[in-house]
Each structure stands twice: as structure tokens, then as C-alpha cells.
Amino acid sequence: MRNLLFGVSALLIPAAAQAQNVPTGRLPDTATPVAYRLDLAVDPEKPRFSGHTEIDVEVKAATRTLFLHGRDLKVSKAWAKAGGGTIAATYTQVHQLGVVRLDFARPLPAGKATLAFDYDAAFGDGAAGLYRIKVGDRYYAWTQFESIDARAAFPSFDEPGFKTPFTVTLTTPADDVAISNGAETGTAKAGGMVRHTYSVTEKLPTYLVAFAVGPFDVVEGTVPATPQRPTPLPLRIVATKGQKDKMAYALRETPRIVQLLENYFGSAFPFPKLDQIASPVMGGAMENAGAVVYDDTLLILDDASPTRQKQNFGMVVAHELGHQWFGDLVTPAWWDDIWLNESFANWIGYRIADEWRPELNIGVGAIDEALSAMDIDALKVGRPIREPIEDSGEIDSAFDAITYGKGGQVVAMVESYMGRDTFQKGVQLHLSRHARGNATADDFFGSLAEAAGDPRIVTSMKGFVDQQGVPVVDVRRAGNDLALSQKRYAAIGAGEVPATTWTIPFCVDNGGEKGCTLIDQPQGRMTIKGAGPLVPNAGGNGYYRFDLGDADWSALIAAAPRLPSGEALAAIDSLWASFRAGHAAPARLVEAAKAFVANPDSNAAVSGGSRLAELDRRGVVSGKGRDGLHRTLLATYLPKLAAIGFDPARGAHAKDSPDVQKLRTDLVTLVTRDAHDPATRAKLATAATAYLGGNADALDPAFLGTALRVQVEDGGAPVAESLFERAMGSTDAYFRGRAVIAIAASGRPEVANWLIGKMGDQRLRSSEKVSIVNGITATLPTQPIGVDYLTANFEKLARETNLTSVNSMLSIPSAVCSVEQAGVLEAALKPQVAAFGRGALTLDRTIEKVRSCGALKAARGKEIDAAFAG
């Protein structure tokens, strides 16, 4: 799964039932599932679906009671078949997370048995469980079962450690396409419906089962045979009607990614077919075995699509297909090891995508993502990558930046230290040992250590996996040596943090001479060769920050135009970390921004400016300092934009390299949104007017979101209302999403208040509601409106709208910067989050971010203003 966070709908459970000893974590080992037979009637045009489920089980000992899972299912009949007879059962949901108690009329004997259920349930309206969405004039249905939402579609033992074959039958409207994990083996008329049967699946956990039903457009192809797979692999791209003209790209490019993965893993794609399925509300993607579901914007694109969209396609497809081995073929035994699935998939996603299209510069995104994770990991409130999960309500906390960004970077760091070939050998050893079964993180560590012949690999990796926090390495020259010291990083306002020591694979470049060592003590030394600027974290693959003496910072900043992208990003992040810790002066940040704009990598060129702009967006800069910051941004980035040229028309810069195209997009955002350059804004506004007037060639998709935002900022409520209506009627997820965000982020209070008034509009999707509150809150002039709405409505939204992004919603107030407001937010949201039962860690992190920003402003605000006021 790529960057998805899930909520559950709530069910009010009688107090007497809640008082019982209900297993909200792992189920008792009374029974173990052996196989499932799922027979569902799915008509997306109706509000409910129905099903018959049979589960073959092995019963450990005779029992009158059995716990399993089911959530909000209306079960009309439940029974067991055992010992040649039938035993009636009473089905009762006893917890809102979907724990069910089966009470049998007489003891269920030990041995083989079959549990059977007839039921129906409501479709969800967001990407959780079996959900439906209206696109155009038709409804479509998809599933999203990770982490604990399979239980919303069928009774089950909904845990990753239970892997069984599934036999699936779907009865659907006659003109609908119906997809599941297995290949379709036949159809038969069933009244006015059609009954679809599928091949029995490989052993799967419940969270990897999938269905999709609707009048989809489908394009078909194959992945040609490879040395690892002697026969072609059937491939389909599936999307809602009207998008067939943008499905050819995925059909053409997916095979290369599959082949690269087969080569890396040294084995064939683990399943007999591959369907790549688009959904307009996923917000990410899900690695269902052989039936992967993606957000529309990830899968539906063409050769003219923006560089960033192509980057996302390559990385996320490689991530999800990497899961087919690492997660689907070999599955965690329990959720406390789901981090390994996602961390590894994040790493392999960037690695393989970079091989797929090197010119797209995808690989550096892993470093950028890791640096963002450090901001979260540096908080006092948090968790290590690997953390015991005792309650199912805690599972969602594992799907965060710590798992993806930090975990992926730790994998990259260990691979860099071990060497590519040795690390690959360890991965292949792990997969061969545990294929078609379950494994733990310790199993993976053991395979790596065996491949490397070095047990210190396990020590180093476990230190980063089992400990919270970001190491900061202080690097000082001591003759021909470097004096090194490590501690846990803490920003202003964090107070005392626990003393922590890691085993850090530390590498430094000194004028082209690279040296590496393992730092496993609070202080150490290393001898260096060469002469030139010190570049700690050589290559940028390390998960740590660094600080330098003043002269070495000057030399490193002076070298900015020549630094490789990863090293440049790591240097910028460490400099800003030093500033937030109270060390580096604000003038250094400006100096660095002006130096790094000359770096040839698009990410490094704008990173400093984006961080400066964030000071403005969060209100850290004020008065004359704010005006000076805008002048600094214009003086730094407008000449860069002029040098590469800017024409908003579609395809005007198609001959530029993808990275230059991306750089132009980022520069346009900086100079229009953050520096308010009137000439560039006017150019975008003219193009947007022509585009909305019917001239599709007037505006390149890369500038669509920025141009629409300028339109609403300048035009106010009339433009916002017109754009909203157009978005609600659109089947183009890319346009619709950018239009909604443009309206929300207008910064105009009258528009924000009007949009809040539209939150009850039935055409708005749950994910769009989150985007609206986020956009309003992230913009200073409208921030109070967004905060007031969220604090007044969080629990209602979470429960009634089945939002699939509850943790994302709780991150929205992070845009606030005030010690006082941190307390207000905590008082308003904490009781609602406690009542909802999920999201406590995310809220605590958000409150700390708000308080930390306020502490930074109080401690260094005048100094920051002074740096720009001159």
C-alpha cells in the first residue's frame, strides 16, 4: 500500500457486550481458517450488496463460542457444518472495530468444520471495505481491505498471518465488468444478472483479496516472457468509462517495470495475471495480488502528462508490483512487521522506477521523502519503525512517513553499506525461504546477515528500526581526522530528549575522496583523505543529519552548484535542521537558497526557496520581513524561470528534459503563489481563461493547478462557484482534484465560507472533503475558518462520511504556528479522537508541530524578520 490511511465506520455496541473480554488484537487460536468460498451479488447501482461466505476451519478444541471478524454486516443466518451435521450459530458484533462472537447451539467439535454466513451490507462511500462511487451517470464498486476492512465485505479471520486460497464468485449486472484476484474462468446467466467465476487463488491473507465491478473501459496486453518466466503474463488496464485514451501509457510501460522486478528478485511474477485498476478516490494504491488498485491520477496519464505525474506512476507502480513478491508472496505474520513490507516496497519502488526511466530522475525522491520523515521522527511524540501492535485500532499508525520515508531510507542505507550485489542476494534468500508463507522482520535481518557474513548489519538496522528519533552527527576537523559525535536531534522547544546511540553507517566526501565508518559510540574519530569541502552523508543515502563548523558550512554552500542531487538535498535539510535547533543563522538559509538555485537538479534548485516560503505560509515571518522574503524569492527564482523560459501552452516545452520541465513547474509555483509576481500570474490567468473557455491547448496540465488557483484568487466567489460546478460534473480526476484544491486554497475568506457551506453537497467525495479542509487551513487568511470547521466536525466526519484519510485529516492543523493554539487544538480534538478510537498518535504529533513552530517563532522570529527586512 502506498501512502493510504484508513478509517472505519462506527457501530454502537451495547455496553454489556463491550464489557466482555473482546479480543481487539489477535484472535484466540481456537480455530484456524484453511480456505474461503466467497459468493457475492454486487450491483453498484444499489446501496447494498449481499453475500454467502463459507470458511473451512480447523478447530483446535471443542467450543461453544468462536471469535472472528465482521463489521456492519447484517447477517441473516449463520451456521457451522461439522461431523456430518449442521450446528446453528448466533452472530453478534461485539466491538466497533469489527469483532464478532459466534455462539453455537451445541459445541462445535474439534477437527475440520465449515462456517457459513448469509448476509448483506451497505457499500462504503470512501476507499474502505467494498465501496461504490458515481462517475458520470454510473456507479462503480471497488474494494480496499488493508488494514482491517475485509471484514466490512465478508465474515473472516481478518489477520495477515492467516493465508488461505480463496474461491470467488461475483454476480453482477450483465453489462458490468467484474474483476477479482483470480483469472475469470466462466460466466453464466443468473436471472437478469451474470455470474462470474474465477480460478482459485494462491494462498492469500484477507487484506489482499480484491473485487471491482462496473461498466469499466478495459485495454488488454501481455508482459512478454523473461528468463524468469517462460510464458507471457496477461495484463489489463481498467478504468471508468471515458478514459480509454489515457490507458495506453500504463499498458505500454507496465511490462518493463514487471521485467525489472523479475530480474531483481530472480523469480517470475508470483501470480498468473495482472490487472492494473484505476479508482477516482484511492488517494494512493493497493497491492492486491494480481489486481492492483490505483488512484486515477497515478494510472491514467499519457505522454503529454507532467513529469511529476510520470514520476508518481513509475514509483508507485514499481512499489505496488514489488509488493507482489515482498508482501504478497511473503507476508508478515502480524501487523507489527507491516513496516518491512512498506519500507522495502518504498525502497524498491524508487530503485526500479529509476531504472525504468532514468531521465525522469525518480530515485532522488527517496531521499526527499526520507528528509520529510525526519521532520516527523524528530518530534518527541512518536514511535520507532517497528512497534508492537496489541490492538487493531493501532494498526493505521504504522502507515505513516516513519514506515515509508524513514524505513525506505534505512533499507537504502544498509544496501549502500553492504553493497548492491550482497544485499540483493540477501533479499532473494529471504524470498526463497518464505515463499507462499509468512515471515518476520527478524527472518529478513537473518537473511541479510547471512548474505553479508557480517552480524553488525543486524545491529545497525535494528538500531534504526527499534529506536525513535533522528541522529545528528556533529562533524569537526581535527588535523587530518574528523571528530564525530552523535546524539538525538531536537529542535527549539522540544526540551530534553532521551539519550540515544545508533550504529550509523557514516560516509563523508572530502574533495572527491570518500571514506566510510560505523559510528557506534557517542564520540568517535575517522581519518580522511583529500582536500576540499566536507560533504557528510556522501550520496545522501544515510538516515541522519549533520552539523558543521562555520567555515565548513561556507565551503559546502559554495560547492552547492556541483553537488549531486542526494548530497545537495541532505545538505539543505541539515542546514535547516541546524537553524531550527537554534544554531545556523537565518542569513545562512538565504545564502544557501541563492547558491543551490544553480544546482542542475530540479529538487535541489528549489528546496531552499520552498522552505523559505513555508516560513511565510505558516506566519513565522511578519511585517517588513515578509515583504523582504517575497523580494528574496523573486530575485532568486524569477531569473531562473526567465533563463529556461515559460509558456503555459500545452506542449510548449515538450522538447525540454523531464527534469527541466519539472523545474519550470516548481519555479512557477514559487513565483506566483509565494512571491506573487504579477507578470507570471497574468500569463497563467490568461491561459486558464482560454482553457476553461474550451481551448484545451492553452494550458499545459503541468500548470493546471497553479493557474486555477490564480483564477480563484483573482476572481473570487463567482469564479469559485463556476469552477466548483464544472469540477463536480467532470469525470477527469486530475482536473477535478486540482479544481477543488484551487478553490479551497484561494485565501479568500468569502470563498472559504461559501465552500464550507457546500460540504453537505452529495456530489463531493470523502477524499475531496479532506482536501477542502486542508486547503482552507493551509492558507493563512482562511486558516481560522478551516480550524473551526475541523474542530467542530471531526468526529462527525470520521463517523458519518466513512473518511478513508482520518490521519490525514488530523494532520491538517499542522499548518498552525502558535504555542497558545496548540493547547486550544488539543482541548478541542482530543476528546473527539478518543471517542473515535483511532488517530491519537497523529493528533499528538500535530499538536507538537504547532507548539514547536510557535516556539521557533518566539525564539527566532525577530532574527528571521531582520534577515529579510534589510
Q: Give catalytic residues, as residue numbers.
A: 320
Three cell numbers, residue 605: 534548485
Beta bridge partners of 483: 476, 525
CA distances from 730 to 332, 733, 770 (A): 40, 8, 19
- Sign of the Cα torsion 207, 208, 213, 218 reads positive
Element holding 639 (H helix, E strand):
helix 623-644
Known binder of ligand: residue 319? yes
Rg (CA), the chain: 27
CA 768, 769, 772 angle in degrees (round to 5)? 85
Burial class (CB in 10 A: 0-12, 13-18, 19+), 422: middle
User: One-letter amino acid identity for 593?
Assistant: A
Which residue pairs from 500-504 have beta carbons closer than 8 angstroms and sit at least 24 positions apart in sequence?
500/467, 500/468, 500/469, 500/471, 501/463, 502/460, 502/463, 502/464, 502/467, 502/471, 502/544, 503/456, 503/459, 503/460, 503/463, 504/460, 504/471, 504/473, 504/542, 504/544
Helices (H), 759-818: 766-777, 783-800, 806-811
- 3-state SS string over 672-741? HHHCCCHHHHHHHHHHHHHHHCCCHHHCCHHHHHHHHHHHHHHHCHHHHHHHHHHHHCCCCHHHHHHHHH
Beta bridge partners of 486: 473
Which residue bears the cell 470467488? 168
Instruction: Report residue 160: phi and psi, to 5°.
Output: -70, -25
| Dihedral, 254, 805, 608, 845 alpha carbons, nearest 10 | -140
Q: How many Cα atoms sit within 13 Å of 280 on the Cβ side?
A: 27
CB 582 within 8 A of CB 861: no
The residues, any chain, with a CB within 8 Å of residue 785's CB and separated by 6 or more, are: 749, 752, 753, 756, 776
Dist CA 259 CA 352 (whole Å): 10
Dist CA 583 CA 575 (whole Å): 9
CB 312 within 8 A of CB 350: no
Known binder of ligand: residue 58? no
Dist CA 610 CA 619 (whole Å): 14
Estimate to the nearest angstrom the gap between the alpha carbon of 114 and the chain centroid.
38
Three cell numbers, residue 220: 488488454
Element holding 369 (H helix, E strand):
helix 364-377
CB 157 within 8 A of CB 33: yes
CA 351, 357, 361 angle in degrees (round to 5)? 70
Q: How many Cα atoms sit within 13 Å of 735 on the Cβ side?
A: 17
CB 386 within 8 A of CB 337: yes
The residues, any chain, with a CB within 8 Å of residue 395's CB and separated by 6 or more, are: 147, 148, 335, 338, 389
Which residue bears the cell 511585517? 623
Count Cβ neighbours within 10 Å for each residue of 574-603 and write b for 16 or more, e otherwise.
bbbbbbbbebbbbebbbbbbbbbbebebbb
- 3-state SS string over 206-273? HHHCCEEEECCEEEEEEECCECCECCCEEEEEEECCCCHHHCHHHHHHHHHHHHHHHHHHCCCCCCCC
**Nearest CA among 264, 219, 266, 262 for reference residue 239:** 219
Known binder of ligand: residue 583? no
How are beta strands 85-95 and 74-82 bridged, if at all? antiparallel
Binding annotation: 319, 323, 342
Binding annotation for Zn(2+): 319, 323, 342
